Amino acid sequence: MTTTINTPAGTPFVEVTREFDATPAQLFKVMTSKELLGQWLGPRNLEADIQEYDVRPGGAYRYVHRDANGEYAFRGVFHSVVQDEMVIQTFEWEGAPGEVCIEKLTLEPTETGVLLRQRSVFPSVEGRDQSVEYGMADGINDSMDRLAELVAKEG
């Protein structure tokens, strides 16, 4: 299964969809587990240090990716969490403070599994475009592939 990333020109939106061979409950469990997060989040060539990951309304997260060139830290706050259905959170790369995205992720049952939909809204079109230029799609694609592998293993 492939990941679809839509970045409509002239908008601050990024839309990601991916179908998984799992139930919404199985996918939600793997996606929201602090213990499993570092096994699927981010590109394969980066080490992940999950410092905080408290998936509940008002909970926060922070993680750091590392490679030979340095560290890349990300943080945010969970606003709404509906078990097995939806998460709304903020997302901020600490390298661009103040460029906080709002992300809504939904899990929809299908005949063959579950469809993940994520919509990110950046504060500006320029901020979104810069993220695209920095290789956001590579990180998303790698994360979704790794997530599918982990869900199959954890099943």
Whether residue 57 contacts residue 69, with contact meaning beta carbons closer than 8 Å, is answered with no
Rounded CA separation 14/28 (Å): 21
Per domain, the residue ranges of the chain are 16-154
Rounded CA separation 44/109 (Å): 28
Whether residue 47 contacts residue 64, with contact meaning beta carbons closer than 8 Å, is answered with no
Backbone angles phi, psi at 79, to 5 degrees: -100, -50
HSE-CB for 8 with a 13 A CA cutoff: 8
Rounded CA separation 52/50 (Å): 6
Which of 4, 1, 22, 18 is closest to 113 using CA atoms? 22
Whether residue 27 contacts residue 83, with contact meaning beta carbons closer than 8 Å, is answered with no
pLDDT at 155: 67
Whether residue 37 contacts residue 52, with contact meaning beta carbons closer than 8 Å, is answered with no
Written as tens digits, the pLDDT of the chain (155 aa) is: 799 999 999 999 999 999 999 999 999 999 999 999 999 999 999 999 999 999 999 999 999 999 999 999 999 999 999 999 999 999 999 988 888 999 999 999 999 999 999 999 999 999 999 888 888 899 999 999 999 999 999 86
User: pLDDT tens digits for 40-60?
Assistant: 999 999 999 999 999 999 999
Global pTM?
0.93
User: Is the domain covering 16-154 a CATH 3.30.530.20 domain?
Assistant: yes
